[in-house]
Structure 1
Amino acid sequence: MPSCGNAWLNNSLLDEFSRVEEIKGQRSANVLTAAKPRRKLVGQALAGLTPGEWTSVDGLFTDMRAAGLNPVVHRSERALWKLYLEDPQYGSLGYDGYHGWSLLQGRYTLAVLFEYAATLGLIDIEYVPPAGARDDYRDNWGADYLDQLSRYDGLSALRLNPLGAHAVGLTGDYAPAQAPVSAVPAGRVTVLANFDIVALDGLPSADTLLLDAFCDRKTDRVWTLTTTSLLQALDRGHTLDELRGYLNQAASHSVPQTVTTLLDDTGRRTGRLRDTGQTHLIECADEALAVLVISDRRLRVLCTRIGERHLVVTPDRLPAFRKAALALGYPLA
């Protein structure tokens, strides 16, 4: 999958299985497998869905098992005995028939879908109250005391949406759908020349969220535009076209020249700094070696010198740089 989809799969702050709190013993030493390989299997399962089509959770489980996508949570059979419901001896999941796929791999998958994919807006979900939604744990010792095995038991179906299809690499560039500007009634706000935006009659929640994103709020019904507030909105991924479109439709009068000038000035700063991706910083032992490398006909086109002893190499050129440096007699450590 492309890098845009890897960010959420590579997070290491949380093992989602820890959120299945009724399964005890997870904190024992050497019990759980690493979370990232498991999560990537769930990502692969999402990549196998048809965008826009609803799939039942049990149907997804069936497809995952058929495809060999098996996010095993326990390190070994011995580790499995340390996982339990209610009582570490009688409720152990190590007994034959008491650790079915949906109980462990399935609950982990549900947690990833709910905590990551749904929260990030990659999938649409159908969710019902979890109590009694699944009964696959009922035969386990101690289950009589549980209305549900996890808060995710109520997740019954999912649908990969356009953002999700992009994140898992099924589509190219993604452009979020914009609400039609014509749907915003005129006269909701008054835009003043001092950069204040006033809504005397209050605003719907969607309007409030938009103004909160681009402005500093002065009172419940007054916002003010500043260069800082606009730049912060841009840094969070918003675009000035969102605000311009809203003000042009919702303002009771024409937007003052001072405000349009502020928006234009801020817009001119957009794109002046760009994150073009990661690079490798190569440190030379001394300035003489840096000069030697940058003078070599094969190496000089593969790197850029910065400072006296450092070179910058982009990831796509690193293999060629390594090979040319070795040919020059300096293997890259």
Structure 2
Amino acid sequence: MSELKRAISNDTVDSLKSKYLTYFGVKSKKNLKTELVNSIAEGLTDQTILKTYLGKLSELEMALLQESLFNYGGLIDRGRFKLKYGDFPNKPQSSIWYYRQEPSDAVMVFFFTVGSDWYNIRKMPEPVMASLKQLVAKPEPDTLTTVVLPEPLPNHHILFERERLALSELHSIQLLLQDKQIKVSEKTGVASGATLKKVSSAVHEYYGDDPCDDAKGCESMLAYGWLRLLGNSKFTKQSGTTLIPAKKTDRNPADTIREMWAQWLNNKKEDEFRRIDRIKGQTGKGKRYFTDVLKRREVITAYLKGCEVNAWIAFADFANFMFITGADLEVTTALHHLYIYNPGDGCLDGRSWDYLEVRYLRCFLLEYAATLGLVDVVMAPPDHDESFDDQYGDMECLSRYDGLRYFRLTPLGQYALGLTDHYKADHKESTETPLTIQRQGRIAFDREPTPWEQRFLSLYADHHKDHIWKLSRKRMMETLQIGGSVDELKAFLQARDDQPFLPEDCESILKQAAANVGGVEIKEEALIVNCKTQDIVEFIINDKVLSKWCQRLGKQQIVIPKSKEKKFKESLNSVGIGCV
């Protein structure tokens, strides 16, 4: 028996008679299953009969055939089809409940049960697909649409230029690391509440506080993202409960961010979905059914790479595009273990994509991609999310990430994703606030500077009052030592001041700062040695061997390199002087 006939024979005799009538337009005079199978097999592969039959299908039925043939692998995907076309060619309602979810008979004539069980999936046999593909055109390829942001933005919507903010925030957090200000759990590496507040004050958070009771933690999303990304990177290490720099780096911020992103994509221990804490059942039995987080990130990253740089995309359009095109993004293989209120309450049935994958996607974009500046975002309060419909309670939003409305891939994101080998900032759309550079490094803005301008300038200057700032030698030196640039600061000032040249004393401050970076180099640790008498000091200082490692510090003190401690003690013992 051929492959096609085997597939057709999986249907019952009654089903085959119904398909015969639908396809040929007349009742079959044959009652034997073998005869029905042979007749239908011949008809479905006859190009003349096929062409005539296809001409009778409705536009929606033909669209379903096209999608099944070229995009669904011979299957029917009701969810993807209905989201794309807004409708579905349903079988007319019947008293039998399950018929309400069946496609029309005109379409189902091409689909047969896979296997012998009636409840198995329906699929087009390969020979039928081959015949249909000669007559049915491919559907137009799905495209991701871009948008122009409304001007002005709707109420409560705020644009965050994360590319610009991330580059300066990185410096601010590196200063906190350098000063050993970041405390984390010794076991989990998760930051304390006090540390989150401290880091939140060094970055530009999306929300000033929790915008609704169901979105706890909104005010520290960026702080949390930065700390997880840094804690996972090779640029930091944990010393007890303190996160500190692992090594001094002279990399520019874009390279640091690119490497941090790559390292996060390969982090197997952390799952961003755990941050969707309103979804219960993630531990215990449910934990074992979560999919590979590396694969999830790989899928989202592949779609991000397909975005046009500097073009705004509505988040809802992006999520729908992923769903329609069959993105292999799945959070769990056992949905029944997860719930919102009580186990088995059924809240997630039939809405897995909206409740799980879409929330995961938002978290990944906001707390990780946007934190590093790979995307700029437009945010609204999370309880403004009209796509969330809580049918079982009065929850205002499902996650703290529900406020994401639009995003755009930035040049920094293009670089971090490996789409280009070089990073070149492009901030033509950003407003530059005019300023005047006064004597002794005073900087006076004409009006309130933008959040990014304030964040950038805070790396090199102190804020005095109103719109007045003043260059700080201390801040400049701290920032220059972690990858800041005098040229970058100079370009920032000159782009906003009408004067053709910087004032002489300001130019002098900048030149001196550039010249003095690395002016003192700490080579190694030293030990201060107290001598019992001044005679012992004189003996050591004048001894041929001991004098090579020491230098007088006070009347009865000398200093030696810590690395020479052992040899120093041995030499003292050899001349009869004890060292405790």
Normalising by structure 1, we get a TM-score of 0.60
The 1:68/1:6 distance shift into structure 2, 3 A limit, reads farther
The 1:158/1:225 distance shift into structure 2, 3 A limit, reads closer
1:48 to 296, 306, 317: 306
What are the superposed Cα offsets for residues 83-120 of structure 1, whole Å, 9 maximum, x if unpaired?
10101122464xxx434322211111111112122222
Output the CA distance in 2 between the equivalents of 1:201 and 1:134. 40
Output the CA distance in 2 between the equivalents of 1:60 and 1:257. 48
Task: Give the residue type in structure 2 aligned to 1:129.
Answer: P
Partner of 1:133: 385
5+ residue gaps, structure 1: 192-196, 270-333
Q: Is 1:171 equivalent to 2:420 in the alignment? A: yes
8 A contact 1:33–1:73 mirrored in 2: yes
8 A contact 2:291–2:331 mirrored in 1: yes
Higher relative contact order (CA 8 A, sep 6+): 1
Shift of 1:47: 0.8
Output the CA distance in 1 between the equivalents of 2:444 and 2:435. 14
Partner of 1:84: 339
8 A contact 2:433–2:445 mirrored in 1: no
Output the CA distance in 1 between the equivalents of 2:383 and 2:456. 37
Partner of 1:123: 375
What are the superposed Cα offsets for residues 218-271 of structure 1, whole Å, 9 maximum, x if unpaired?
976775644x644532354432112234566489842267525413414798xx
Q: Is 1:265 equivalent to 2:515 in the alignment? A: yes
What are the superposed Cα offsets for residues 152-174 of structure 1, whole Å, 9 maximum, x if unpaired?
33323322222222222223311
8 A contact 2:375–2:407 mirrored in 1: yes
Q: Is 1:36 equivalent to 2:294 in the alignment? A: yes
8 A contact 2:411–2:426 mirrored in 1: no
Q: Is 1:159 equivalent to 2:414 in the alignment? A: no
What are the superposed Cα offsets for residues 191-227 of structure 1, whole Å, 9 maximum, x if unpaired?
2xxxxx4469998556654443135x5976775644x
Partner of 1:277: none
SS of the counterpart of 1:145?
Answer: coil
Partner of 2:31: none
SS of the counterpart of 1:58?
Answer: helix
8 A contact 2:439–2:506 mirrored in 1: no
What are the superposed Cα offsets for residues 253-290 of structure 1, whole Å, 9 maximum, x if unpaired?
42267525413414798xxxxxxxxxxxxxxxxxxxxx
5+ residue gaps, structure 2: 1-257, 520-580
The 1:264/1:22 distance shift into structure 2, 3 A limit, reads closer
Q: Is 1:15 equivalent to 2:271 in the alignment? A: yes
Q: Is 1:60 equivalent to 2:318 in the alignment? A: yes
SS of the counterpart of 1:148?
Answer: coil
2:395 to 129, 141, 146: 146
The 1:34/1:231 distance shift into structure 2, 3 A limit, reads farther
8 A contact 2:315–2:404 mirrored in 1: yes
Shift of 1:73: 1.6
Structure showing greater radius of gyration is 2
Task: Give the residue type in structure 2 aligned to 1:242.
Answer: E
Output the CA distance in 2 between the equivalents of 1:235 and 1:12. 32
| Two-structure CA RMSD over aligned residues (Å) | 3.9
The 1:173/1:256 distance shift into structure 2, 3 A limit, reads closer
Output the CA distance in 2 between the equivalents of 1:11 and 1:62. 27
Partner of 1:243: 489
Output the CA distance in 1 between the equivalents of 2:305 and 2:357. 18
Q: How many residues align?
A: 251
The 1:30/1:38 distance shift into structure 2, 3 A limit, reads same
Partner of 1:6: 262
SS of the counterpart of 1:120?
Answer: coil
The 1:118/1:190 distance shift into structure 2, 3 A limit, reads same
Partner of 1:111: 363
Output the CA distance in 1 between the equivalents of 2:365 and 2:470. 37
What are the superposed Cα offsets for residues 2-31 of structure 1, whole Å, 9 maximum, x if unpaired?
857524433567532122222111132424
